Amino acid sequence: MINLKLIETNFDEFNSKLKAKKVGEDVLKNLLEAYKENKKIKLEIESLQSEQNAKSKKMGEFMKNGDKESANALKTELDSNKTKIATLNESLNESEEKLSLVAAAVPNIIDDDVPLGADEDENVELKKVLEPPRFDFKPLEHWQLAEKNGWIDFATGAKLAGSRFSVLRGQGAKLARALVNYMIDFNSSRGFELVNVPFLVSSNTLFGTGQLPKFADDLYKIDDEDLYLIPTSEVPVTNLYNDEIITENELPIKMTCYSACFRKEAGSAGKDTRGMIRQHQFEKVELVCITKPEQSDKVFDEMVACASDLLSSLGLAHRHMLLCSGDLGFSAAKTIDLEVWLAGQDKYREISSVSNTRDFQARRAKIRFKDGKKNTLCHTLNGSSLAVGRTLIAIMENYQQKDGSIKIPAVLEKYI
């Protein structure tokens, strides 16, 4: 949830940062009006309560002096004020509800160093890591290699569940499992605690990390139950600390988690219809961190380095991309994507996305820490480390041989 105090303290900057994230004028107008209405009612209540306190004190003096006539007249005014306050409190409850509803659909504001831009074409390349492989033959795409090697069965996936589902078989299935175990071990060696969480969560949990109410159409919901399949393990892992107060010396909390992920991909019709790039069900190993505000920049860099070093250990060329304002996710204040080179496609494709949400998710999920005598909102961060299917694809395309066979990166040999 956005910090509504920014509307009052620095509205112009707040407004411009939301516009940079493509928030519409109507949303900003509704937010401002709801905030002003809420504040107006609060001020009216405060004024009446102050008046009530002063008159109550005055009435006490009248009663003490035996001035019953003045006391009775003042009592009438006090009763009238009491009725007005009760009515205004009802209006305040309605106003709070309206403001919360409007604010819940407003994304996080961007960090100052996020480049302004409309879409992914204006993301900024920060650096390249490793050189893409060179071949003395025309490299195949992963779905062609899948057919040759029997690793991925797209037809049976479609038979079982429809489009954008697939079945891994034989060595392909073994390699995917090896990748999961290797990723977990790699992240654990970097200080990330392994957690195992439910793949089904409540609407409150999804609200905490910003998937609801904005992205309901992308989620798979269980009929007649308050349960949804998770779109990413970021959701349950971050919410392990929902509505909790963490002791200061526990922070930063660094976690890694394997999960299946489920997405309708409602906004991606016609994109990546072939192969395994964009699936309704996929596997991912996630990094999630909860920090004090002053720790989050350092931890963000550590998370990016962890995912990047993991790719390097697999011998996969990739690049770091700083997302522009128009390409940032709903909850993110800043994001760096890692894009891996796919030799068959002859291009870089996203394989990891590391985001700092600052206190946006923590405000929604009420994740706080005890800072001396007061409770302070934590910062939360999340990142893929890595998307398993896309890593499998990258190995297939970059380690392919002229005869269509595929080598296995040396670090994975002991896992197979």
Sheet holding 367-371, edge to edge: 244-247, 367-371, 374-377
Output the pLDDT for position 74.
83
Residue 314: other Cβ atoms inside 10 A: 25
- In this structure, are 96 and 178 located in the same domain? no
pLDDT in tens, 90-101: 999 999 999 999
Is 353 marked within a binding site? yes
Which CATH number belongs to the domain containing residue 306 in this structure?
Answer: 3.30.930.10
Output the pLDDT for position 268.
60
Domain end marker among 39, 72, 104: 104
The answer on pLDDT for 139 being more than 60 is: yes
Is 312 marked within a binding site? no
Task: Determine the number of helices (DSSP H) and then strands (DSSP E) in the chain.
Answer: 12, 15
Integer Cα distance of 127 and 204 in angstroms: 38
- In this structure, are 193 and 302 located in the same domain? yes
95 in Cβ contact with 30 (< 8 Å) = no
User: Would 391 be classed as within a structural domain?
Assistant: yes
pLDDT in tens, 288-311: 999 999 999 999 999 999 999 999
Assess whether the previous peptide bond of 107 is cis (omega < 30° from 0).
no
Is 202 marked within a binding site? no
Is 296 marked within a binding site? no
153 in Cβ contact with 170 (< 8 Å) = no
Is 225 marked within a binding site? no
Is 265 marked within a binding site? yes
- In this structure, are 63 and 177 located in the same domain? no
- In this structure, are 279 and 348 located in the same domain? yes
> What integer is the mean pLDDT of 253-258?
98
Sign of torsion over alpha carbons 45, 48, 51, 55: negative
Helices (H), 21-67: 25-64
DSSP label of 226: S
Is 233 marked within a binding site? yes
Integer Cα distance of 275 and 103 in angstroms: 38
CA-wise closest residue to 28 among 39, 17, 38, 43:
17
Give me the residue label for tokens 């009530």.
52
Number of domains in the chain: 2
Output the pLDDT for position 64.
78
- In this structure, are 279 and 360 located in the same domain? yes
User: Would 115 be classed as within a structural domain?
Assistant: no
Output the pLDDT for position 57.
84
Which CATH number belongs to the domain containing residue 37 in this structure?
Answer: 1.10.287
- In this structure, are 73 and 158 located in the same domain? no
> What integer is the mean pLDDT of 321-344?
98
Sign of torsion over alpha carbons 303, 304, 309, 314: positive
Integer Cα distance of 330 and 332 in angstroms: 6
pLDDT in tens, 100-128: 999 999 999 999 999 999 999 999 999 99
User: HSE (CB half, 13 Å, CA atoms) of 184?
Assistant: 16
55 in Cβ contact with 81 (< 8 Å) = yes
> What integer is the mean pLDDT of 248-259?
97
Integer Cα distance of 320 and 339 in angstroms: 7
280 in Cβ contact with 262 (< 8 Å) = yes
Is 350 marked within a binding site? yes
308 in Cβ contact with 129 (< 8 Å) = yes
- In this structure, are 31 and 83 located in the same domain? yes
> What integer is the mean pLDDT of 179-192?
98
Full DSSP string of 234-246: HHHHHGGGTTEEE
Is 152 marked within a binding site? no
- In this structure, are 143 and 87 located in the same domain? no
- In this structure, are 75 and 161 located in the same domain? no
pLDDT in tens, 375-399: 999 999 999 999 999 999 999 999 9
User: Would 99 be classed as within a structural domain?
Assistant: yes
User: Given pLDDT bands bounded at 50, 70 and 90, which one contains residue 266?
Assistant: low
Is 47 marked within a binding site? no
User: Would 401 be classed as within a structural domain?
Assistant: yes
Would you call 416 helix, strand, or coil by DSSP? coil
> What integer is the mean pLDDT of 224-242?
98
Distances (CA, A) of 23 to 9, 29, 249, 344, 357: 20, 11, 38, 37, 17
The answer on pLDDT for 267 being more than 60 is: no
**Mean model confidence pLDDT for the chain:** 95
User: Would 112 be classed as within a structural domain?
Assistant: no
* pTM of the predicted protein model: 0.92
- In this structure, are 67 and 190 located in the same domain? no
300 in Cβ contact with 334 (< 8 Å) = yes
Output the pLDDT for position 65.
81
User: Would 219 be classed as within a structural domain?
Assistant: yes
Is 190 marked within a binding site? no
User: Structural domain of residue 37, as residue ranges?
Assistant: 5-104
- In this structure, are 154 and 64 located in the same domain? no
CA-wise closest residue to 129 among 330, 308, 343, 353:
308
User: The tokens of 171 are what?
Assistant: 């060595």
Integer Cα distance of 298 and 344 in angstroms: 36
- In this structure, are 87 and 133 located in the same domain? no
CA-wise closest residue to 276 among 144, 385, 401, 408:
144
Output the pLDDT for position 269.
61
Domain end marker among 39, 69, 104: 104
Is 100 marked within a binding site? no
User: Would 114 be classed as within a structural domain?
Assistant: no
Full DSSP string of 108-176: PPPPTTSPP-SSGGG-EEEEEESPPP--SS-PPPHHHHHHHHT-EEHHHHHHHH-TT--EE-HHHHHHH
> What integer is the mean pLDDT of 204-231?
97
pLDDT in tens, 31-84: 999 999 999 999 999 999 999 888 888 878 877 787 778 878 888 888 898 999
User: Would 237 be classed as within a structural domain?
Assistant: yes
The answer on pLDDT for 241 being more than 80 is: yes
DSSP label of 370: E
Domain end marker among 70, 104, 138: 104
User: The tokens of 108 are what?
Assistant: 């996080």
